[in-house]
């Protein structure tokens, strides 16, 4: 991780194909583009890779979430159950849909705890958005069962987990819709980009229309297309899609390297008695972008995190103090009610999160350290990294 570590001639070739046509927009201009449709090609290849019927590329993972929420009809006053450990975009997308994020605890998977979700469901719950954090899966089978039993929409935020699977089925393909990010630091990248996937024909039709001002994309004359709904502009460019076409071909290689590198470091950490590891419901489906482990106490986790940084172990994340991935530091969201923190007028339905208490999640995240797994490490660099880590623990 991430895909930009292995940019090469493959990406250049795909981008030059687009530049040679002069057509950077993904729609129309059929003649000048000379049969070059990079967004369509990426979407078709993504469907094949993930085993789904439809994929719609858009400008980011955030826009993919917005598209999925809109396609599924989630809006004003609807409650959407989410984890407190995610990139903040998950919450932003829900808020901009006019819906209400409702936080439920995580468990030792670092993802939504099914039991906590069940306790959080109310008559206003419209959807659950589990986030497959740091490349590995939530208990997605249990969460799907809960949603199915209660008639609730399941939308997967798999933005950090492209290539991950659960029992052979691609993450993102369990719910009504699944969302991915292909930004600059993701497993595969378009520079900026995202995708919403689904097996539902109607949801796909609504999704690709919403992402392009409501256009129905029927026919080849854009000026004569009908508008089936009110939408916005979340289009991806052909240049970004072209990079993704090349990157997707490299996904299996990326996963193989990440899994090998992660295994080497995990094996070394396994010799340390105070270290325990994140629960991964299906280890074979882990995309291996991070190695997450727990220490016995918050104090010890802070001590080790600081020591690893001082020892030159880069890519070491202590999420409990992170501004973007855990609710403790999201002051702009915790004080939304009446706080003027959204560009539009404050919404009547926004909850006041100032007093929100999630002690179970706090206990887990405060003891968690994540090590980023990179693609470009040599054997010597991995050995050096392991030596530094073990030295921090006095081994």
List of domains in the chain: 3-250 (3.40.640.10), 252-392 (3.90.1150.10)
Residues with catalytic annotation? 186
Evaluate the omega torsion of the peptide bond into residue 2 and state whether it is cis, within 30 degrees of 0: yes
Q: What are phi and psi of 67, to 5 degrees?
A: -65, -45
Task: Identify the DSSP state of 160.
Answer: T
Give the model's pLDDT for residue 333.
Answer: 82
CA-to-CA separations, 279 to 109, 136, 143, 271, 292, in angstroms, rounded: 5, 9, 16, 18, 9
Distance CA 218, CA 132 (A): 35
Q: Is 10 exposed, middle or buried (CB count within 10 Å of its CB: 0-12, 13-18, 19+)?
A: middle
Alpha carbon 108 to its chain centroid, in Å, reads 18
Residue-level pLDDT, tens digit, the chain, 395 residues: 778 899 999 999 999 999 999 999 999 999 999 999 999 999 999 999 999 999 999 999 999 999 999 999 999 889 999 999 999 999 999 999 989 999 999 999 999 999 999 999 999 999 999 999 999 999 999 999 999 999 999 999 999 999 999 999 999 999 999 999 999 999 999 999 999 999 999 999 999 999 999 999 988 888 888 898 999 999 999 999 999 999 999 999 999 999 999 999 999 999 999 999 999 999 999 999 999 999 999 999 999 999 999 999 999 999 999 989 999 988 888 776 555 555 554 455 566 788 889 999 999 999 999 999 999 999 999 999 999 999 999 98
Degrees, nearest 5: CA angle 354-335-125: 75
Report the candidate in 128, 110, 116, 22 with the shortest Cα–Cα distance to residue 72. 128
Report the candidate in 357, 353, 358 with the shortest Cα–Cα distance to residue 330. 353
Task: Identify the DSSP state of 233.
Answer: B
Q: For residue 35, how many other CB atoms are within 10 A of its CB? A: 8
3-state secondary structure of 388: helix
């Amino acid at each position: 991780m991430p895909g930009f570590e292995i940019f090469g001639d493959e990406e250049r070739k795909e981008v030059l194909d687009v530049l040679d046509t002069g057509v950077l927009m993904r729609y129309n201009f059929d003649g000048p583009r000379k049969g070059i449709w990079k967004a369509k090609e990426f979407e078709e290849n993504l469907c094949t890779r993930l085993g789904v019927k439809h994929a719609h590329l858009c400008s980011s993972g955030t826009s993919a979430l917005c598209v999925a929420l809109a396609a599924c009809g989630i809006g004003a006053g609807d409650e959407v159950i989410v984890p407190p450990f995610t990139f903040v975009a998950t919450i932003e997308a829900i808020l901009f849909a006019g819906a209400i994020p409702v936080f439920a605890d995580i468990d030792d998977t670092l993802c939504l705890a099914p039991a906590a979700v069940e306790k959080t469901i109310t008559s206003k719950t419209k959807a659950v958005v589990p986030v497959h954090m740091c490349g590995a899966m939530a208990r997605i089978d249990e969460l799907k069962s809960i949603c199915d039993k209660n008639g609730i929409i399941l939308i997967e935020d798999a933005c950090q987990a492209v290539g991950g699977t659960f029992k052979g089925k691609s993450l993102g393909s369990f719910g009504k819709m699944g969302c991915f990010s292909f930004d600059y630091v993701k497993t595969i990248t378009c520079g900026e980009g995202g995708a919403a996937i689904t097996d539902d024909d109607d949801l796909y039709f609504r999704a690709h229309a919403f992402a392009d001002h409501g256009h129905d994309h029927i026919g080849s004359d854009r000026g004569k297309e009908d508008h089936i709904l009110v939408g916005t502009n979340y289009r991806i460019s052909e240049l970004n899609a072209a990079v993704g076409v090349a990157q997707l071909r490299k996904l299996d290689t990326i996963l193989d390297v990440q899994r090998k590198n992660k295994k080497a470091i995990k094996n070394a950490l396994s010799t340390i008695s105070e270290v325990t590891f994140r629960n991964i419901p299906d280890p074979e489906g882990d995309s291996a972008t991070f190695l997450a482990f727990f220490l016995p106490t918050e104090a010890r986790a802070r001590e080790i995190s600081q020591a690893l940084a001082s020892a030159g172990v880069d890519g070491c994340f202590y999420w409990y103090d992170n501004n973007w991935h855990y609710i403790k530091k999201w002051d702009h969201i915790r004080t939304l009610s009446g706080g003027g923190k959204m560009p539009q007028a404050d919404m009547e339905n926004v909850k006041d999160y100032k007093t929100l208490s999630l002690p179970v999640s706090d206990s887990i995240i405060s003891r968690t350290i994540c090590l980023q797994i990179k693609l470009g490490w040599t054997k010597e660099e991995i050995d050096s990294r392991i030596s530094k880590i073990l030295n921090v623990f006095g081994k």
